[in-house]
């Protein structure tokens, strides 16, 4: 049984994991960089170890150093959170070699689904619909143009490895594609060590819907319904809600069944997310699988009452899932917004010292926050400093609660995207649930300064 866990991460997700571990009576070990010397997650943990300078490549991506801390602190397991090494098959393999439980899927699954090209092939084999596109790496810009002419513009150029919107770009012509291919391939090589690119038909006016799955080591796989994640900027999610406000019950059932089918086809274990694009006629297509916990997992927890981190740990402990599909109930509506330290007009990061921070409180309000008053937001990591999650008996109540809590969320000393969030949730299209992936490009026109 797991008695001590190292969290190979930082910020709000490290705090989130520590919270559940404490509830389970599990000791926690944090690792931190120079920039996180005074971070809240470090203080939350039972033990904390310094692993290097502020730069991520010299600290949170230092596999050897993290494993050294795991040995020194005598942990039973490592939870990777999201980002950093969370989807690294090398990390999972190293844990197995050193008899430490990796709280996530097996290394071969991480390797399979970490390649978007190989993931497409696996889903095609499983009978899961995929977006029309290439099933192999495209070697050159010239080849990409030839393929795009067959698929038809616009096309989505994608890096095979990685995520977070890096190496992705919609292109509308051969000239755009030639330029975008070289730039994105180089960027993917820099970030992921793999510059392989492929093409998919770009589905205009589509929705980004994802389904949370859990699978144990005893052949049981369930889904926890869907999340609507269509409001995005530069392919990065900004606002998510559960359930989706605009899909039919028939599609909801089909998405859930298909997500379970996809997970079972690759013998998946632990928590994962199957992501789909849904067109205007409710045709859906596999997009990718995230083989880790998602940033937006709290909204699923709010509508199901299931602690996903707890289930991750239980699955890693080789326990059987405590519920079957028909026992999982969906209640109410939850919305999450990501609070970024950035200029809401130019979208530049806004590092600095937080001179004042007041978080909203009340029934149905959940703050997942990495900082407090007096903390410094550094330029070394993702600028997300908090997530605000609200729950209501229905979507209208959740939206009203979100409007109120965003007004109560006070941050001074840095700029944030709160003004943008306050604005977009007043749009008629949002209130009606008309939120395709083009939503921000179509509706949001920055007119106000940061708070």
In degrees, rounded to 5, the angle at the alpha carbon of residue 96 between the alpha carbons of residues 91 and 101 is 90
DSSP-based three-state secondary structure for 449: coil
Has 292 been annotated as catalytic? yes
Token code pair at residue 98:
């050193």
- 93 forms beta bridges with none
| Whole-angstrom distance, CA of residue 426 vs CA of residue 432 | 10
Handedness of CA 4, 306, 299, 252 (dihedral sign): positive
Longest CA–CA separation in the chain, Å: 58
Q: Is 127 left (phi over 0), alpha (psi -120 to 50) or beta?
A: left
| Whole-angstrom distance, CA of residue 234 vs CA of residue 165 | 7
Token pair 């006629």: residue: 281
Q: Any residues with CB less than 8 A from the CB of 369 and at least 6 apart, and which?
A: 12, 15, 40, 357, 359, 385, 386, 387
Query: What does the radius of gyration of the chain's CA atoms come to, in whole angstroms?
Result: 21
Token code pair at residue 142:
């010239």
| Long-range contacts, stretch 244-250, CB < 8 angstroms, 24+ apart | 244/207, 244/209, 244/433, 245/333, 245/395, 245/433, 245/435, 246/207, 246/433, 246/434, 246/435, 247/207, 247/209, 247/278, 247/282, 248/282
Contact between 168 and 235 under an 8 Å Cβ cutoff? The reply is yes
Contact between 292 and 82 under an 8 Å Cβ cutoff? The reply is yes
DSSP-based three-state secondary structure for 429: helix
Q: Of the listed 120, 292, 338, 366, which one is catalytic?
A: 292
Closest CA to 417 of 323, 358, 345: 345
Active-site positions read: 292
């Amino acid at each position: 049984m797991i008695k001590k866990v190292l969290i190979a991460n930082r910020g709000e997700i490290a705090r989130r994991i520590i919270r559940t571990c404490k509830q389970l009576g599990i000791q926690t070990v944090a690792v931190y960089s120079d920039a996180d010397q005074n971070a809240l997650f470090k203080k939350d943990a039972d033990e904390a170890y310094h692993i290097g300078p502020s730069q991520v490549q010299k600290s949170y991506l230092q596999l050897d150093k993290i494993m050294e801390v795991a040995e020194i602190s005598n942990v039973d397991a490592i939870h990777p959170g999201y980002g950093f090494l969370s989807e690294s098959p090398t990390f999972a393999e190293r844990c197995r070699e050193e008899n430490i439980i990796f709280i996530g899927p097996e290394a071969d699954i991480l390797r399979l689904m970490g390649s978007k090209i190989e993931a497409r092939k696996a889903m095609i084999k499983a009978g899961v619909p995929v977006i029309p596109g290439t099933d192999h790496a495209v070697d050159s810009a010239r080849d990409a143009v030839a393929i795009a002419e067959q698929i038809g513009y616009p096309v989505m150029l994608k890096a095979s490895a990685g995520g977070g919107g890096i190496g992705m770009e919609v292109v509308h012509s051969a000239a755009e594609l030639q330029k975008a291919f070289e730039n994105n391939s180089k960027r993917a090589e820099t970030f992921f060590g793999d510059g392989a690119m492929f093409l998919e038909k770009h589905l205009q006016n589509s929705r980004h819907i994802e389904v949370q799955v859990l699978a144990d080591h005893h052949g049981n796989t369930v889904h926890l319904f869907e999340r609507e994640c269509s409001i995005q900027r530069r392919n990065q999610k900004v606002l998510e809600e559960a359930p989706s406000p605009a899909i039919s019950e028939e599609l909801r059932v089909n998405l859930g069944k298909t997500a379970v089918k996809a997970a079972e086809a690759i013998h998946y274990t632990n928590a994962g997310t199957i992501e789909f694009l849904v067109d205007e006629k409710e045709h859906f297509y596999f997009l990718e699988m995230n083989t880790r916990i998602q940033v937006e997992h709290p909204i699923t927890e709010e509508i199901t009452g299931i602690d996903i981190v707890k289930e991750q740990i239980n699955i890693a402990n080789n326990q059987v899932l405590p519920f079957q599909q028909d026992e999982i109930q969906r209640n109410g509506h939850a919305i999450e917004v990501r609070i970024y330290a950035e200029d809401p007009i130019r979208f530049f990061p806004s590092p600095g010292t937080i001179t004042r921070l007041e978080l909203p409180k009340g029934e149905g309000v959940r703050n997942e926050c990495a900082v407090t008053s007096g903390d410094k937001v550094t330029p070394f990591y993702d600028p997300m400093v908090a997530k605000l999650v609200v729950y209501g008996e229905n979507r209208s109540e959740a939206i009203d609660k979100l409007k109120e809590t965003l007004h109560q969320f006070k941050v001074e000393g840095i700029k944030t995207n709160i003004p943008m969030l306050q604005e977009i949730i007043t749009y008629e299209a949002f209130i009606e649930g008309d939120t395709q992936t083009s939503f921000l490009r179509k509706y949001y026109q920055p007119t106000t300064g940061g708070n």
